[in-house]
Every structure is written in structure tokens, then in C-alpha cells.
Amino acid sequence: MTDVIYVGGKVYVITRAEGSNTTPANYGTYASGGTDDKGVLATNFNASLKNNMIQIYTLGGGRSFKQIVPGKFEASGTLEYEVGSGNFLKYAFGAVSAGATTTTNFDGTTITGTPTAALKKYVLTQADTLDSFSMDVIAQSDASASDVKTRYTGAKANQVTLKADTENPLHATMDFIAQKPTTSTADYSATTQTILSDVPQMFYRGQLLINAGDYGLSGTGTLSTMTDATKAWTVNAWQTNYVLIDSAGTAFVITSNTATALTVTGTPATGSYVICPLSTYTSAQVVQCNSVDMTLTNNLEGYWSISNDTGRGVKYLLEKQREYTLTLDLNFVNTDQLGRFYSGATSGTTPVSDTGYTPFCVVLDYKTAIGQGDNYKALKLVFTDVVFDEESLPANPKDILKQVVTAKAKNCMGFFITSEAQ
């Protein structure tokens, strides 16, 4: 192989879904008959490989080891990218719907401008078992036949953090664990490395909303009613400033609600759903947010077995508990969020017991102007059953009065609209 100096600007990261560990024959197997997923606007990639070498010292063998043998092989890494759509989040959430043509956004508002037929909407939903994926990291050079490709198979997303602030595009950091890497050299065609060109989401297209939305998995739709027997809603709490978004990503105007049923205009699909604020937000829903970090942790655990049929690589990556954490840097403009820290409601003035604490909804909502036609983009993340866990109130004579809150959420659903095939 010819000695070549490689540069980061000619490194491509491409992924391809493999399957799930519920079908062991697929886990860690590169789907050669599939179609390459497109890359994202990757800004950094770092892989860490570990042989876990075992040194064996023997009686009478002197002070140096007598033998050294490789133990468990571990492969992990980090991919950072600027978020344009929600496509790569499917590896962290577990599932993304097929694209459905849309002419309305997730609030049900018609997208204007022509044409709009190219716009597709997608829904990200939580799954208990994550699909594994293969990742090709290709370092290209100007010299013939001297490209280097490392393929990581059996990879899963252990943790994803999204950071939103006013200085940078919406930034994602994905920590992954893989089963096995394989490195090869060949000349790879640049035409096979297609990068999604969705414009990154910027703060001036976004809103952070804190209000009492809701989420459910057991909803059943019959005519214009969505019923969820697990709920105990306040009657008509959702009929003015909220919409129902069903498992297909379709928005429905809520005309009224009982304790366990929502009456909507249209027929929602059965399955997961969210209730979230309309595009016309109330002043109580929008908060002055300087930055927010959102982290989904899947708490993967590697499993090896005697007679490991994957060699030294991990046999399975098993999903343990799912965790959502949020860190909000807010301006202290009133006592609403301090009230939520006390009781979950803006009216809180002192800490309450568990029976008095009311979880709420946090929505990070990005979208371009409604008249953008095929250039319209949207990304909505809805965190539900949110509680404020820690709060700091720094006061400094040289700074704006702020409050920094760490929150925990039980569930999340994601929605995005783009004109690019995902």
C-alpha cells in the first residue's frame, strides 16, 4: 500500500440498517442487498478499539509476562453532526415511519408555495429493541487504489445528545458501540457517498415550549374520537391551543375532551400519539431559552458467551433502561418555571409531595416559513411526563438573572418534514 496523507475533508461516514437482536441471524450482518443510507453533515468522528490484552505471569517465569493473549474485543466511537432532519435519530429512538407525502405541517397548517408534492413527513417512535446498523468510514485519497474503508458492523446507538443554542446549528453527538470492525483498501467511487444536504436547524427557526401536553401509547381511534383509558384529563383542557398528532404524523384539531377521550376533526390512527401546542403559542408556553441539551441514553450492555460465535466481538448489545435528560438555560423573567420546579405547575410556591407534583410537556420545535413550498423544513421533539429535578439560580451583578434546570422525561416522540428522500 502506498503511503498517503489522509485529510478529514475526504472522510465519509455512511450507515446502513442491519436488523434487530430479536433476529440474531441479522444482528451484525451487513445488509449487502440493501441501499446505502445517506450520510449526514458530519463534523467529527472518533473510534476507540480495545483488545483487552491479558498478561499471563507464571511461577518461575521471571518479572515479565510469559504469555499475552487478546481478550474481549470492544469497539465504540462518537459521531458528531449538524442536524438538518431527524433521519439519523432513528438509531437512537428505534423506529422511523415510511415517508408520507404531505402538504400540511405537524400543526395541521397548510404549507403554501409551489410545488409541495415533494415534501415527506416522518415519525420517530420509541422501540424497546433497537435496530443495529453498519457504519462505513471511508478515507479517500488522490492516489489510485489507496482509499481505506473501515466497516463497523453490529453497531447500536448508546447515547445521543442534541445541543441547541444561539451560537451554532442544532448539533448532535451520537455515542455508539459496535460488534466488529473490518478494514480494507480499495478505490471507492465518490458517487456512492451522498450527503443529505438539508440546511441545519438554526435557533431563529426554533421555539422551546413548556406546557402541559401529553403522550400515550394506548390510544384507539373510532370515527372522530381518540380514547385512552389510562388517562385522567381535565375536561376540555386541550380544546383551544393544542392538536393531537397520531402515529402517522397527522394533526387533528381537538374540539373537546373528557377524562379519557379526545374528540377531534377527522379520524386519528390507532397507536402512539402526542398532544402538543398549536403554531399560535400562548405567552405562557414560550420560554426565553439560551440553550438546551437533550440526551437520550439507551444504557446498552455488551454480552459475550462461551463459544462466542462472533469471535472476540460482543455477541449482543442489550438495551436496558431508557433515560431522557434535559438541561435548560433560561432567563429568569417570572416565577413560572420556579413554580414548575416546586410543583410542576406555574402556580407552585413551595415544594409539594409526590401526589401534588404534576408532570408537564416540553417541545423543541423548528420550522421554516410556511410559504417555503418544497424548501419547508420542520423538526419537532415532544418530551412528556417531564419533571424538573435540579435548579440553580445564579445572581451576578454583571450578568442577566438566569435559572439553569436539569429535567427528566419519561417519553419522547419526534416528527420531521423534508423534501429529501431519507
Rounded to an integer, what distance in angstroms lies between the CA atom of residue 259 and that of residue 248? 24
Assess contact for 28 and 159: CB atoms under 8 A: no
Q: Could you tell me the domains of the chain?
A: 8-89+129-202+295-318 (2.30.110), 207-294+329-418 (no CATH)
pLDDT tens-digit map of 223-241: 788 889 989 999 999 987 8
Question: Does residue 222 contact residue 269 with C-beta atoms inside 8 Å?
Answer: no
Is 70 exceeded by the pLDDT of residue 315? yes
Q: Buried b / exposed e across 347-361, counting CB within 10 Å, b at 16+?
A: ebeeeeeeeebebbb
pLDDT at 194: 65
* pLDDT value of residue 316: 86
How high is the pLDDT of residue 2?
A: 59
Model pLDDT, residue 78? 96
- Residue 157 has what pLDDT? 95
* Burial bucket for residue 186 (CB in 10 Å: 0-12, 13-18, 19+): exposed
Q: Which of 276, 280, 291, 278 is nearest to 386 (CA)?
A: 276
Distance of CA 27 to the CA centre of its chain: 21
CA 281 to chain centre: 24
pLDDT digit string, tens, across residues 287-300: 889 999 999 999 99
Write the secondary structure of 292-322 as one string of H (helix), E (strand) and C (coil). Answer: EEEEEECCEEEECCCCCCCCCCCCEEEECCC
Residue 9 has pLDDT above 50, yes or no: yes
Question: What average pLDDT does range 188-206 have in this prediction?
Answer: 74
Backbone angles phi, psi at 308, to 5 degrees: -60, 115
Q: Which residue has the cell 455508539?
A: 176
Would you call the peptide bond into 359 cis, given omega within 30 degrees of 0 as the criterion? Answer: no
Q: Please give the pLDDT value at position 256.
A: 94
Who has greater pLDDT, 63 or 20?
Answer: 63
- pLDDT of residue 160 exceeding 80, the answer is yes
Query: What pLDDT sits at residue 74?
Result: 94
Instruction: Assess whether pLDDT exceeds 90 at residue 178.
Output: yes
Look at residue 192 and tell me whether its pLDDT is greater than 70.
no
Q: Residue 368: which of 230, 207, 246 has the closest Cα? A: 207
Model confidence, pTM: 0.90
**Contact between residue 84 and residue 199 where contact means Cβ atoms under 8 Å apart:** yes
How confident is the model at residue 190, as a pLDDT?
A: 54
* Calpha distance 357→197 (Å, rounded): 44
Q: In which band, very low, low, confident or very high, does the pLDDT at 145 lie, cut at 50, 70 and 90?
A: low
Mean pLDDT (the chain) is: 87
Which pLDDT does position 191 carry in this prediction? 45
Q: Please say if the pLDDT value at position 30 is more than 70.
A: yes
**In the predicted model, is pLDDT for residue 152 greater than 90?**
yes
**pLDDT band at 193, cuts 50/70/90?**
low
